[in-house]
Amino acid sequence: MLDITRDSVQFSEREFKAYNPKGYAELGESLEILEQKKALARTAEEKREICMLLDGLEQQRRLSLELAEERFRQARDRAYEEIERVRALTARKRLAGRARQEIENLLEHAVTVYAMKDFTRAGEAAARIARQIRDVGPKVVRFQRPDEVTRLIAVGERLEREGRLREALQVYARVLELRPEEPRVKARLQTITARPANW
């Protein structure tokens, strides 16, 4: 089984947009306006004033980045605690044979999603596994393995959150090859194509 620690997944600036979308957008807009003003500035005083504003914007960027990192850590910690709770529950239930193997496979999937920094899905997967473990009584129940379509949709949504829309579209195209009437993908495609085409 894959091993993780709370800190095995670290924040990077690539997660800024996902964990502080408002701050990210505001910074982008402010930077664009200041760059335009800088290009139009004529006097040394105007240019100096804009440089000071750009310095202030850098401080705002650092604060927004700190907020994004804090939100990232909170989401990471919640997912990690959910996965650890499932591991402890698995040990207490003392599952054996096929049931244990299926739980471990599902848990490995949750850990993989955690390592991909998709903490919401990792936490949801772990919570589903916990419910399945609790439902195991004297007889062994069948566990639902995440299918290829569900996995691909999760990858596509992660790529979309990271702003990698071309790659997300490729993944969604693959999903439609496997399941042409998949409503979640159709909704995601409508959302993507409704955006301005600056990607």
pLDDT digits (tens, 9 = 90+) for 23-57: 999 999 999 999 998 889 899 999 899 889 999 99
Tokens 């909704």: give the residue. 187
What does the alpha-carbon distance between residue 154 and residue 141 come to, in Å, rounded to a whole number? 26
Host H or E run for residue 7: none
CB contact burial 89-101 (16+ within 10 A = b; e otherwise): bbeeeebeeebee
Host H or E run for residue 119: helix 119-135
Q: Indicate whether 131 pLDDT > 50.
A: yes
Extents of the domains making up the chain:
13-135, 148-194
Token pair recorded at residue 94: 């003392």
Query: Per mean pLDDT, which of 54-58, 96-100, 133-137, 145-149 is the most reliable?
Result: 54-58
What is the pLDDT averaged over residues 102-117?
89
pLDDT digits (tens, 9 = 90+) for 65-93: 999 999 999 999 999 999 999 888 888 87
Q: How many residues does the chain have?
A: 199
